[in-house]
Structure 1
Amino acid sequence: MDSDSNARSAAEFQPLYAQVKALITRRIASGEWKPGIMIPNEFQLASEYKVSQGTVRKALIALEAERLIVRRQGRGTYVARHTSERALFHFFRIVDLDDRRIEPWSRTLSQKSITATHLLATQLEIEPGTPLHFITRIRCLKNIPAIYEQIYTPVWMMPDLKITTDAQMVDEMYVIYQDQYGLTIAHASERIAAVAAAAEEARLLDIAEATPLLEITRVARDVSNVAVELRISRCRADLFRYAVELN
């Protein structure tokens, strides 16, 4: 297996299937294989990387488990494409008090450029002073203003990002990142805290000031594990809650 020998050399301690998985991931991350495209079949990949089809199959199974590819019986294997439904199912954890998933819609309040503070830079793993897009929005559930969000993403990744304000928006931000800039969100880490609603948040969410809110701080990363977005969501805890299944 001689393709991308530097990557393989750096990961020689990994099982062979993991090395193949890493090489395929690099091709997705680089944009060589774009979202929605069909990739070579197991036989072709095995021949290219000079490994067995079983090794390739194991690598593809691992990639499918990470939702980086989609395998369609009798049709081939494709690079996964974000849809609003797919992004919601994978990343949106808010349910109603009966544990029912609710499809949100969003209204952007503002968008402007700022420079990263030390704290923002640490969270996004960039240098302080790096230009950022800063977006604020309200997400509605059951037509109720339920979540106040602040979104930060580096300008250099998406120089001309423009989110229309005031209009109702159904598409997930992750769909926009992928469709317009080729950035596929593959992983995210979240931290949860209880906070009190500030005056502006209380006004926007139609609740009393100091009402308890659930704060979810998420850092979303692309296929190469580069931080693409910091999102701070403050959610009403009286009508909705956070739910996650652990395997």
Structure 2
Amino acid sequence: MEKKNEGASPADPTTPEAIGYKPLYAQVRDRLMRRLVEGEWLPGMLLPSEIELARQLNVSQGTVRKALDSMTADNLLMRRQGRGTYVAEPEESRILFQFFRLSPDQGTPSFPDSRVLSTGHAKPTPTETEALRLEKGDRVFRIERIRSLSDQPILIETITLPARRFPDFDHLTIIPNNLYRLYSERWGITIASAEERLKAIAASARDAAKLGCDTGEPLLLISRVARDLENRPVELRWSRCITREIHYAVNLR
């Protein structure tokens, strides 16, 4: 059983690094998470050693290791053999398997290309207001893009962002394929988790024209709310997907 108190003296509970009365490794994780949220630790940064973190928090090295292991399992940190622990970057290989669940029926999964169809500010719909927890008077920024695998369109996305959290988004001359990396590098917003819902729909005439399918053809609608490190919703994404040669894959453990 993990001990509540470690080290020569307990941390002062009035200090920023104080450890409270939760399970100790969970409290250490909470403190380390604050460093991510507040931008003290940035993507790609090398963390202090376990020994140094244990000294800072007045806990054992084993407790720190357990907290770091938990954060690594959640893809927030990366272990590099012989080099240390780093803040994870939202690189395409990680996002491919963590946040993109569409795979070809045959062949190796790959990250799709994107082409932006339209962008702009707008008044939020009731659905967007609820999903993103917007306040009265808030505006949103919408992106519509088509995504392809091997030059074959597979889905259309409508992405909605709270404008106050992404100032100057409309000033970008190029919107990159990897939006989650953009959120992290430009606005310091790390996507830590997402909730998705799946539903079968019929292709509208507009979507059918863009995807090269028949109006009324069955599509898979994926609605996603992506959340930051503090579990606040930061993106609502609607994807309408052709599933002739692809499928939605998830591992249940």
Does the alignment reach a TM-score above 0.5?
yes
Alpha carbons 2:92, 2:111 under 8 Å: kept: no
User: Secondary structure at 1:185's aligned position in 2?
Assistant: coil
The equivalences for 1:74-93 within 5 A come to 74-93=82-101
Please tell me the residue identity of whatever aligns with 2:65: R
Distance 1:129 1:242, change over 3 A: farther
Q: Which residue of 2 aligns with 1:4?
A: 16
Q: Which residue of 2 aligns with 1:156?
A: 164
User: Secondary structure at 1:150's aligned position in 2?
Assistant: strand
Give the distance between the partners of 1:158 and 1:199, measured in 2 at CA: 32
User: Identity rate of aligned residues, in percent?
Assistant: 43
Q: Which residue of 2 aligns with 1:216?
A: 222
User: Secondary structure at 1:204's aligned position in 2?
Assistant: helix
Stretches of 4+ moved more than 6 A in 1? none
The alignment's C-alpha RMSD in Å is 1.8
Give the distance between the partners of 1:42 and 1:85, measured in 2 at CA: 27
Alpha carbons 1:115, 1:128 under 8 Å: kept: no
User: Secondary structure at 1:191's aligned position in 2?
Assistant: strand
Please tell me the residue identity of whatever aligns with 1:39: L
Alpha carbons 1:93, 1:242 under 8 Å: kept: yes
User: 5+ residue gaps in structure 2?
Assistant: 1-10
1:101-154 per-residue CA deviation (whole Å, 9 max, x = no partner) reads 132100000000012222111111222541111000000112111101000011
Give the distance between the partners of 1:77 and 1:227, measured in 2 at CA: 27
Q: Who wins on radius of gyration, i.e. which is larger?
A: 2
The number of residues matched between the two structures is 240
Q: 1:33 aligns with which of 38, 41, 52?
A: 41
Query: What displacement does 1:85 show?
Result: 2.3
Alpha carbons 1:117, 1:128 under 8 Å: kept: no
Alpha carbons 1:107, 1:139 under 8 Å: kept: yes
User: Secondary structure at 2:192's aligned position in 1?
Assistant: strand
Give the distance between the partners of 2:153 and 2:83, measured in 1 at CA: 42
Q: Which residue of 2 aligns with 1:194?
A: 200
Please tell me the residue identity of whatever aligns with 2:66: K
User: Secondary structure at 1:138's aligned position in 2?
Assistant: strand
Distance 1:164 1:234, change over 3 A: farther
| Residue 135 (structure 2) pairs with residue 123 (structure 1) | no
The equivalences for 1:61-210 within 5 A come to 61-98=69-106, 100-162=108-170, 164=173, 171-210=177-216
Please tell me the residue identity of whatever aligns with 2:160: Y
Distance 1:238 1:81, change over 3 A: same
1:199-240 per-residue CA deviation (whole Å, 9 max, x = no partner) reads 100100011111100000011111111111110000002222
Please tell me the residue identity of whatever aligns with 2:247: R
User: Secondary structure at 1:174's aligned position in 2?
Assistant: helix
Alpha carbons 1:138, 1:148 under 8 Å: kept: yes
User: Secondary structure at 1:156's aligned position in 2?
Assistant: helix
Give the distance between the partners of 2:92 and 2:244, measured in 1 at CA: 26
Give the distance between the partners of 2:139 and 2:211, measured in 1 at CA: 29
- TM-score w.r.t. the length of structure 2 is 0.89
User: Secondary structure at 2:140's aligned position in 1?
Assistant: strand
Alpha carbons 1:133, 1:152 under 8 Å: kept: yes
